[in-house]
């Protein structure tokens, strides 16, 4: 069993981004800019946005956070996004999810300029991903693909089971895997027999937010397991969607939680924002 060290890989990606940012500053006088919209008082969202701001500072980005109360109107959010769409200093716009119930998330995401959609959630970018065209890809699935690449894990012809069909993780993950010529099964909350699908998979990618959903008997010997889930349980500790203690001994590769996929999400956000900033040159 080999651990896939997302933290070390993330640090490597961020160091590379920092080098390229410095080159961009010296050669083109361009400083990549990331703007975040944060609505409400959710502690997890605030912690995540703080981590993003710290990462931006580390690699030399300009960053700004628009913090808004959860009572803010949808029109006011849209007006803020449109202002950032027109701001030449901003290369990436990120709306921290989830949004309050009175806000139409799909409508909000559609307002973002696709060229600044560094989260890869806009329908334009999703469509380009599905058709295997160059685009902005959702950061977490993109981070998983970078892990496969870094550890020389071939996907061509592999049977991959994606557990979870969200627009943010499961669906883009499946599209990336298909583009890499894997054979992909997507399961979700209405799947009748999850074990029947996971137990025959060469690779399992799970991200549903259910602690220890994937157990030892659901994984075949020598499988590769990518655990995107992150859950805080009663004793305050963080665990994934995989029963790591019992599953890991069966795996060729497995990601830990924390320290696996999580750090790669922020690394890919920085990478996407740098990509957008380079688009200013064209």
Residues 6+ apart with CB under 8 A from 179: 129, 132
Read off the pLDDT of residues 175-190 as tens digits, 9 standing for 90 and up.
999 999 999 999 999 9
CA angle 55, 282, 94 (to 5 degrees): 35
pLDDT score at 207: 97
Q: What is the mean pLDDT of residues 262-266?
A: 95
Is 137 within 8 Å of 258 (Cβ atoms)?
A: no
Q: What is the mean pLDDT of residues 54-63?
A: 96
Read off the pLDDT of residues 88-123 as tens digits, 9 standing for 90 and up.
999 999 999 999 999 999 999 999 999 999 999 999
CB atoms within 10 A of CB 201: 24
3-state SS of the chain: helix, strand, coil percent to 5?
Answer: 45, 15, 40
Whether 41 has a pLDDT exceeding 80, the answer reads yes
What domains can you pick out in the chain, each with its CATH number?
A: 29-120 (3.40.50.10860), 139-261 (3.40.50.720)
Whether 32 has a pLDDT exceeding 80, the answer reads yes
Among 278, 281, 268, 277, which residue's Cα sits nearest to residue 120? 268
Whether 282 has a pLDDT exceeding 70, the answer reads no
Please give the model's pTM, rounded to 2 decimal places: 0.95
Whether 127 has a pLDDT exceeding 90, the answer reads yes
Residue 281 confidence class, pLDDT cut points 50, 70, 90: confident
Read off the pLDDT of residues 188-216 as tens digits, 9 standing for 90 and up.
999 999 999 999 999 999 999 999 999 99
User: What residues are annotated to the active site?
Assistant: 52, 96, 119
Read off the pLDDT of residues 230-256 as tens digits, 9 standing for 90 and up.
998 888 888 999 999 999 999 999 999
């Amino acid at each position: 069993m080999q651990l896939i060290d997302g933290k070390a890989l993330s640090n490597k990606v961020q160091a590379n981004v920092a080098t390229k940012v410095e080159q961009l500053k010296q050669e083109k006088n361009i400083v990549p800019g990331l703007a975040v919209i944060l609505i409400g008082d959710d502690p997890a969202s605030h912690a995540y946005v703080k981590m993003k701001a710290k990462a931006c500072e580390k690699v030399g980005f300009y960053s700004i956070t628009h913090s808004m109360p959860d009572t803010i109107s949808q029109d006011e959010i849209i007006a803020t996004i449109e202002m950032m769409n027109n701001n030449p200093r901003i290369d990436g716009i990120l709306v921290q999810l989830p949004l309050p119930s009175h806000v139409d998330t799909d409508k909000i995401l559609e307002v973002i300029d696709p060229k600044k959609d560094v989260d890869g959630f806009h329908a334009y970018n999703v469509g380009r991903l599905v058709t295997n065209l160059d685009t902005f890809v959702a950061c977490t699935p993109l981070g998983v693909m970078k892990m496969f690449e870094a550890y020389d894990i071939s996907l061509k012809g592999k049977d991959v089971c994606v557990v979870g069909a969200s627009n943010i993780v499961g669906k883009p993950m499946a599209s990336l895997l298909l583009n890499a010529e894997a054979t992909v099964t997507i399961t979700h909350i209405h799947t009748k027999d999850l074990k029947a699908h996971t137990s025959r998979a060469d690779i399992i990618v799970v991200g549903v937010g259910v602690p220890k959903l994937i157990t030892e008997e659901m994984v075949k010997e020598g499988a590769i397991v990518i655990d995107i889930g992150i859950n805080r349980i009663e004793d305050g500790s963080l665990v994934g969607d995989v029963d790591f203690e019992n599953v890991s001994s069966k795996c060729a590769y497995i990601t830990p939680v924390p320290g696996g996929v999580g750090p790669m999400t922020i690394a890919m956000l920085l990478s996407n924002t740098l990509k957008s900033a380079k688009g200013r040159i064209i």
